[in-house]
Structure 1
C-alpha cells in the first residue's frame, strides 16, 4: 500500500511540476513573444449568460438593459456593457437638443470583439463631437430586423440623420424563411413571406422563447481560459490551420481556394435582392426625409472574388440609393486598394473587423460622413 501511495505521490509531484513549468513557459510566451493571445483574467465565467438575448417581440435579438458581458474568444477578451436602452453605447437620452446620427447594422456595426472606443461609431463620435447612436447587434440582424428596429425603437430617439451598414455576406439571406429556420433554434426571428412588394412579416416562433439554456461544458471551457496560460495558447492555436508549414487563420484558410469562394456581392438571387430593397424602402419611409448614408461592408472572401469592377450587388445598391436620394459608399474598392493584405482588417480568430478594420473604414467613410454632418448642422 505504501509503495502505491509513494508511486501516486511521485506521479502527482511530476504532474504538478509539469503544469507549473508549462504555465511559466506559456506566461513568458504570451507576455514577451505573442501579444495577440489575451492574458487570463482569473475570473469565473458563466456561459449561460449572454449579451445577445431574444428580448424584443418585433425585431428579435437585442441586449438586456444595463447588462454586461465578457466575450471570451481565442484571440481576444472584450468586455461589453449595455446602457439602459440595451445599446452597446454610453447612456443615451430619448430627447436631444443637439444633432445626432442613428447608425443601423449588424455585428460589424455593433463592434463584435472590438473594444469600446475603437469601433467605427466611437471614432466618428469622437471626431465630430456628435452622438452616433449605435443600434447594431449580432444574432442574425439583417435589413428586415433593422427596419422593424427603426420602426419600433430607433425612431423614438431624437436623431437628424441615419447611417446604414450593409453586409452582403448575410444581409441578402437574413430575411428569408429558409435561412431563419436553419439558424433560429435559439432565437425568435422575423422573416418575409410573399413576393415583392407584397410581403408579410412572420416569425420563426409564435411566442417569445423562455431562457432555459444550460451549458456547463462551455462554462468550464471559458473559465479554464481565464485561469490558465497554457490553455489560452491551446485555444489560440485552435484558430489556425497549418498549411505549407505556415499557420493561417482557419477562416482565411477555408477561403484559400478562390474557385470555391462564395461572395454575396456576386452570388445573390433576384428574390434576395427584392427582399433587401423592400426592407430598405421601408426604412426610407420611416425616416421621413432624414438624410441617409448607406455603405457596403466587404468580407475577406469578397476581396478574393473582386476583379476591379463594380460588383452586381454594389451596382444595384448604388442605383437604389440614387433613386432615393441616399448617399452611397461601397467599401470594396477603397479597402481593396488601401493595403495588399486585406486579411489585416479582420480578427485572427474571427472574420469580423478588428480595431484596424474599423479605423480604415472610418477613414474611408469620412468624406461621406462629413457631408452628412454638414447637412444636419445647417
Structure 2
C-alpha cells in the first residue's frame, strides 16, 4: 500500500473519529435538555398559547384560524381566516348590508369578555334589530396599539372590507404614548404614506418570529428562558429610556390605598376644573393638573397643544381623509382609564370633542356616564385586577352610544338617498 493511500485512510478515520466525538458529546447535552424539558412540563407546564402573528409593518396581529384559551380569565379566543377576533366576513358586503369597521386597542379586541358581549357586538345585535337588515360591525381591534397603528390598520386591512362607517375607539391612558413612541423611533410614517414594499429582510423576520412562536407554544424550556430574558430586556429599557419617556411625578397615579401618614390635601390647593362638575369621590383625592408640559411625552395628554396631541390630531385627520376617499364616514369614541375617572383627571375632553365636531368627525363621549358613578359602581364596570371593561362596562358603552349610532347611520342613508 502506498503512503498516499495510507494517508488518505488515516484522514478518513480521523474525520469519522471527530464525528463520533461530536455525536457522543451531544448525547448528554440533549439528554440534559430533555430532562429539563420534562421537569418543566411537570412542574410549570406550558403557558398560554401565543395567538399573535408578526406581519411586516403591522406587528402583534392575531393569527388566522386560532382557538386558544386565555390563561388570565379562561375565555376562549377564536379568530377567523383573516386573523380577526370575529366571525367570518366576505370582503364585499352582501346587498342591503350596512358595514362598520371598528378600530381600537385591547378594549376593542375584547379578549376579556365572552364572545357576543363586546360593545361592538352589542351594537351589531341591536342595530340589526332596529333597522331590520344586517348592520355588521367588524372587529379590527388588537392590543397595544394607538391611532398610529389604527390608521395603518385601516389602510392595509379594514378598507378591503368596504365599510360604510369607521368607528375608532380611543383609550386616553396609553394611546398617546403608543402612537408618539412610534413617531419618535422613526418607524414608517402613515402620515407620509410610508408603506414600504416587503423586503427579503422583512420576510426573514416573519419566518424568524413564526419559528419563535412555535417554540413558545411547544417547548417549556424556551418559555422559561425567554420569559426571564424578556424581564431583563424590559429592565434594561427602563434603565436607559430616553428623556421623552421619563414618567414625571406630576402624572403618576396615586396609590389605591393612601398611606396612613399622607397629609390631607385641601381642594383649594388642587388645580382641577373637573371637580366643579363632578365632585371628588369619597376618600380619593382628585389629581391636580400638571403645571408645566415637560420634555417627557407622558404628560402630553393633559396639554392639548402638546406634541403628542398634535400627532394624534394629524393621525385622525389623515384617517378621516382616507375613510371619506373610500366613500365612508368616521366616528371617534373616547374614554379614560378607571384610575383617571377615580382621580378626576382634568383632561382636555371638551377641546377634543370640539376639534372632532369642527372637522366633521362624529363624537361618542361616554366619559360623563362613568364620572357620575360612585367608586363601587365604577369598579363594577371593570374586570377584577385588570384595566379592561367587563361585560357590564361593555354594555354601558354600547347602551350609551346606541341611539347616537342609529341616528348617525340614518342620516348617512338619507344623504346617500338624496345624492349628497
The match for 1:152 is 156
Shift of 1:263: 7.9
Indicate conservation of the 8 Å contact 1:101/1:163, yes or no: yes
The match for 1:107 is 106
Q: Which moved more, 1:110-119 or 1:205-214?
A: 205-214
The match for 2:36 is none
Secondary structure of 1:350 counterpart: coil
Indicate conservation of the 8 Å contact 1:263/1:305, yes or no: no
Shift of 1:59: 2.5
Distance 1:68 1:45 in 2: 19
Higher relative contact order (CA 8 A, sep 6+): 1
Indicate conservation of the 8 Å contact 1:121/1:132, yes or no: yes
Secondary structure of 2:342 counterpart: helix
Distance 1:282 1:89 in 2: 26
Indicate conservation of the 8 Å contact 1:125/1:131, yes or no: yes
Q: Which moved more, 1:323-332 or 1:148-157?
A: 323-332
Taking structure 1 as reference, are residues 265 and 84 closer, same or farther at Cα in structure 2, changes over 3 Å only? same
Q: Please give the TM-score of this superposition, normalised by the length of structure 1.
A: 0.66
1:318 aligns with 2:315: no
List runs of 5+ in structure 2 lacking aligned partners.
1-43, 129-134, 225-254, 259-282, 290-297, 415-420
Distance 1:286 1:162 in 2: 11
The match for 1:134 is 139
Indicate conservation of the 8 Å contact 2:303/2:309, yes or no: no
Shift of 1:118: 0.7
> Deviation per CA, 1:311-368, whole angstroms, max 9, x where unpaired?
31x2332122122211212222122225553121111121111111101111111122
The match for 1:82 is 79
Secondary structure of 2:393 counterpart: helix
The match for 2:69 is 70
The match for 1:61 is 60
Aligned counterpart for 2:400 among listed residues 348, 364, 369: 364
The match for 1:336 is 371
Distance 1:126 1:168 in 2: 27
Indicate conservation of the 8 Å contact 1:105/1:165, yes or no: yes
Distance 1:84 1:198 in 2: 31
RMSD: 3.5
Distance 2:116 2:413 in 1: 24
Q: How many residues align?
A: 286
Indicate conservation of the 8 Å contact 2:48/2:70, yes or no: no
Distance 1:114 1:141 in 2: 19
Distance 2:337 2:403 in 1: 22
Distance 1:45 1:268 in 2: 48
**Correspondence list, 1:279-298, <5 A:** 279-288=315-324, 289-298=327-336
Taking structure 1 as reference, are residues 121 and 178 closer, same or farther at Cα in structure 2, changes over 3 Å only? closer
Secondary structure of 2:141 counterpart: coil
1:373 aligns with 2:370: no
The match for 1:22 is none
Distance 2:126 2:166 in 1: 17
Indicate conservation of the 8 Å contact 1:102/1:134, yes or no: yes
Distance 1:219 1:377 in 2: 52
Taking structure 1 as reference, are residues 334 and 256 closer, same or farther at Cα in structure 2, changes over 3 Å only? closer
List runs of 5+ in structure 1 lacking aligned partners.
1-43, 182-188, 221-240, 245-254
Distance 1:363 1:118 in 2: 12
Secondary structure of 1:346 counterpart: coil
Indicate conservation of the 8 Å contact 1:144/1:191, yes or no: no
Distance 1:348 1:63 in 2: 25
Indicate conservation of the 8 Å contact 1:52/1:61, yes or no: yes
Shift of 1:302: 1.4
Who wins on radius of gyration, i.e. which is larger? 2
Distance 1:77 1:126 in 2: 25
Taking structure 1 as reference, are residues 101 and 260 closer, same or farther at Cα in structure 2, changes over 3 Å only? same
Secondary structure of 1:136 counterpart: coil
Indicate conservation of the 8 Å contact 1:104/1:165, yes or no: yes
> Deviation per CA, 1:39-90, whole angstroms, max 9, x where unpaired?
xxxxx974373122222x23222111111221111xx211011111111111
Indicate conservation of the 8 Å contact 2:147/2:315, yes or no: yes
**Richer in strand (by share):** 1
1:349 aligns with 2:353: no
**Correspondence list, 1:182-221, <5 A:** 190=187, 192=189, 207=202, 208-209=205-206, 210-211=208-209, 212=212, 214=215, 216=220
**Correspondence list, 1:231-242, <5 A:** none
